[in-house]
Each structure stands twice: as structure tokens, then as C-alpha cells.
Amino acid sequence: MCGIWALFGSDECLSTQCTNAMKIAHRGPDAFRFENVNGFTNCCFGFHRLAIVDQLYGMQPLRVKKFPYLWLCYNGEIYNHITLKDHFEFEHQTKVDGEILLHLYDRFGIKEMASLLDGVFAFILLDTANRKVFLGRDTYGVRPLFKLLTDDGFLAVSSEAKGLTEITHSMSTPAEITPFPPGQYEEFELKLTGKVKSVKMDRFHCCTVEPKHASYNNLQGLGTGFELETVKSNIRILFENAVKKRLMAHRRIGCLLSGGLDSSLVAATLVKLAKEEELQYPIQTFAIGADDSPDLLAARKVAAYIGSEHHEVNFTPEEGIRAVDEVIFHLESFDITTVRASVGMYLISKYIREKTDSVVIFSGEGSDELTQGYIYFHKAPTPKAGAEESVRLLKELYLFDVLRADRTTAAHGLELRVPFLDHRFTAYFLSLPAEMRAPKNGVEKHLLRESFKGMNLIPDEILWRRKEAFSDGMTSLKKSWYASLQEHIESEVNDSQLEKADKLFPFNPPKTKEGFYIRQVFEKKYPGRSEWTPHYWMPRWIKATDPSARTLSIYKPDKDE
């Protein structure tokens, strides 16, 4: 996890502009560098480092003797960097995983380079010899990237939009700040003036296609065909591989554990592999909730079962309400479910940063989208419709759950790892027949659960535990975080304010008092930037005005939780 920031063709003095780079300093608390580009005095890079791999040479922009004309700033981890280095017999100058980008670009060009990377990444690559600038982002946008491009070719890039909101430029109107699309790269021509011209935007990977890098990683035991036992075995092999490759770190590894299916599978597999790889410390797991919350009780059972060093963070609605403003500042979003679910993740990340030495944090994000885990999938009219909805959700992750997971952890200088969004694992799961992936016998994520049945990886009651929204599961069933938040908002927003919402917020107007309250906070922090949340996350196939699972008629909490 790092913060990357760059300008190409700035009309304003760089020393003035670079104060904007400090707005993303939380992403890299270990070191900071600001560097001009030789021969292009109005171009520069800013970098905030969180040191995870190669303590000595990890500062950026990364440059090596073999390619003095290449400058690389990237945020991410390339899990197959050693495999590719050995296969192509590259001679590396450093142990930095990102150096592989320079060698691949030199040999194959930008598109092939991006498609061979197994990992999560956002990159800015400058080639002064050919006067090119390239931007790129991983398949699901696990690592964030935003750009600002003016009419006269001034380009500004940042890991978070807040690093661009006060950039000075020559346009008379505010310049648009847009999230860079996942799974794509953009090529710019760099003019002698330092300004740029976009010449190409292209996709290098789509989630439904097996990634190119899969052919360089032969996994033992993978079967062919759709026979159930073969599929279940393949799911286990690919999932374990997804967790194993993410053990790449020089800093302590921990895991978020809500006690739900997804985080429990991640935590259990992580503990198992950590023992096999002989890590020199126990894996720490982290749960947040009120004393009688379903999540806290379930997480406790899982932690005891897998033998992790377990930490519980006590959550009170009052603490959650106090954190909302900060959370919206970090998220740069006014989506209701995103804000609501981010509060717990933000507070647990704060605890991890302040009270432990774990820095690399595993989590279960992406599973609900991939394996049809949301309760509304029970209402899908056909398996095909469910499968299409799954892909739609995956393609929008960078606006919602992945955005939440990145910003809430990065706010506290932690690095998130999400094995359920492994390119190879997701491509395989999405290649399975739609009927296999649909909810079965009234149970969502049936195929995933069935794949780990009888493996004794996690307790059976957790393997078959039904879906809880994170924001709902961490508080008491008697009175959820959702209900507490609604009460607070009732005292802050009145009916007449909500009636005027359409005029006050013509783009994506809020329909509820909670939406109004969140939008007010967002507009104070980011006035005129409502396009950053193009639409609200909402369940489909049912009438819903609120995204919380608890408000849906098909939600039935387990009686024994």
C-alpha cells in the first residue's frame, strides 16, 4: 500500500502544487519523496511509501541503470514477479516486485506487460526516450487511481481524489476528476512542453477471461470438466493458491474476521499456510462488534477453532456516529451502504494501527459478488440473470466494496489483501455453469460452502452461517447499528429538508434522511463532486429503498445467533 501522485505539464510552480500530494500521506507513513523529471521541469512524481517488500530499494519513482529513461510509480503487489523474472531470465537490479514492470515493458510493450501481472496495482509509467506516459489499474480496481486532464493537456494523477481537488490549472471551470477504469491502461503522448495528449485507452483483462499469467503458474491437481467433485477440488486448489501467493511480505500479516463464511475461510487458510511456510509469528485476527453482536460471537468460535491470536474491538453506536464525518472524508463517496459498512472497518483498522504490529491485512471482500452471496440473489428470475448480476457487481466493485476496503485500511497506513478477487480464482468461478453458482436449497453461496464441506477448515455452523451485512452483524440483533444511526439522523434531518433534496442535490438525490445526512457531509468536504458516486448500491429484483439486508422481507436472522 502506497500513495502515488504525479503531474505532467503543470503551469503552476511545482513547490506550490506538491502540497496537494500531502493529502494522501496516510497511505504511506514510512517515507516520502518528491522528484522532478530531468528535461521536463513541469513534470514530477510524489510518493508516500508503506514498506512491505525490499526495505532498501523500495523508494519510488523506481529507476534502474538498465533503463535510465523509464520512471515508475506504482501502488500494489506483483505476486508473480519472481516467476516472470526467472522465466524470461531478466537481470534485476533490486528485489522490488515492481521492477518486473520495467523489464516486461521493455521487452513486450505496455499491453502485454499489464496482462502478465498477477497482482493488484495502479501504475504511472513514464518513458522519456519515446515521450510516452502510461496509466494502468488492476482488473477489479483493488488499488485506486484518479486522474485530472485539462483541455490544454495538463495531466494530474493521484491514488485518491483528494490529492487532486485543489490542483491549480489554467481552465476557467473546475477540471473533472475521474476514477481510472479497472482492467485498462491509457497511453499518452508526452509533448516537449510537458503537456500530454491521450492517444489510446485499451482493456488488458476482463474478469470473465482466464488471465495470461495463468500459463506461467502450473498448479498441481487441477481437473477439467464440470463434474461436481472436480469443480469443488478446483475451487479449493485455486483459493488456497490465492491466499498462498499473498503471503509475500516483510511486515507482519493479520486478518479481519467477522465470523462470516468469507473471512473465516480466508483466516483459516491463512493460519494453515502460515504454519506450512513457517512464519515466525502467530497470525492475528481482528473482530469488531458490540458485546452480544452475532459477528463477535461467531468470530470468537472461528478464532478458537483455527488457533489465531484473536483481538476483539468493542463497538458502540456512539463511537460509530462520531466517526462518520472522517469516514466520508476518506471514502470520497456518499453511497449509503458503503458509508454504513465502512465505519466498523475504519475503527478496526485504527485499532490495528495503534495497538498491534500487523500491517498486511487479509480480508474476505469480493466473495459476495463472485459467489452470489447477497440475500437478494435468492430472487434472481433465472440462474443466467444471477450470473449476469454477479459480473455486473464485480465490475462495479471499485465504486463500492473495494473502495470501502481500500480507503478504510489505507486511512491508517495498512495494506489490504483480498484473495477472493484473485484473477485466476474469479475467472475459473465465473466459467462454471450458471446453475452451479446459483443459490441452492435456500442457501446462498452454496457451491463455495459445498466445496469446503468435510474439510474441517472451519466449524460446520460457520460454514453454513447465512449472510450478514457487515454493518448489521457487528451490532446487537436487539438494536442494530443501522437502527442507532437512524435515530441519530432523525434528530439531524427534518422532513422539510428531505422534501427539498431533489432541488438541493439534483444529481443522485437522496431518498431517505440517512442519504440526505451523508450527502450533506460529502458536499461540505467535496463540493460539486457528486459524479464520484454515479449511483447508489441497491439490491435487485425486490422493492427496496434501503440497502440493509435487515430491511428486506427475505431477511430472516438465525435464531441461535
Instruction: Name the residues annotated as catalytic.
Output: 2
Residues whose CB falls within 8 Å of the CB of residue 513, separated by 6 or more in sequence, listed in order: 486, 489, 490, 492, 493, 498
Residue 188, phi then psi, degrees to nearest 5: -120, 145
The single-letter code of the amino acid at 540 is: R
User: What CA–CA distance (Å, rounded) separates 29 from 1?
Assistant: 10
Three-state secondary-structure class, residue 140: coil
* Residue 92 burial class via C-beta count within 10 angstroms: exposed 0-12, middle 13-18, buried 19 and up: middle
Q: Name the pairing type of β-strands 284-289 and 252-256.
A: parallel
Q: Phi-psi category of 3—alpha, beta or left, where left has phi over 0 and alpha has psi -120 to 50?
A: beta
Q: From residue 324, how far is each of 161, 341, 430, 439 by CA, in Å? A: 19, 11, 36, 34
User: What CA–CA distance (Å, rounded) separates 489 from 40?
Assistant: 51
Q: What is the 3-state secondary structure (H, E, C) of 15-36?
A: HHHHHHHHHHHHHCECEEEEEE
Q: Report CA 102 to chain centroid distance, whole Å.
A: 24
* Residue 364 burial class via C-beta count within 10 angstroms: exposed 0-12, middle 13-18, buried 19 and up: buried
Torsion of CA 347, 349, 353, 356, to 10 degrees: 100
Residues whose CB falls within 8 Å of the CB of residue 423, separated by 6 or more in sequence, listed in order: 118, 139, 205, 207, 211, 213, 214
User: What CA–CA distance (Å, rounded) separates 400 from 341?
Assistant: 10
Cβ-count burial 222-235 (b if 16+ within 10 Å, e if not):
eeeeeeeeebbebb
User: What CA–CA distance (Å, rounded) separates 73 from 88?
Assistant: 23
Q: From residue 202, how far is each of 121, 183, 208, 286, 358 by CA, in Å? A: 16, 9, 17, 39, 37
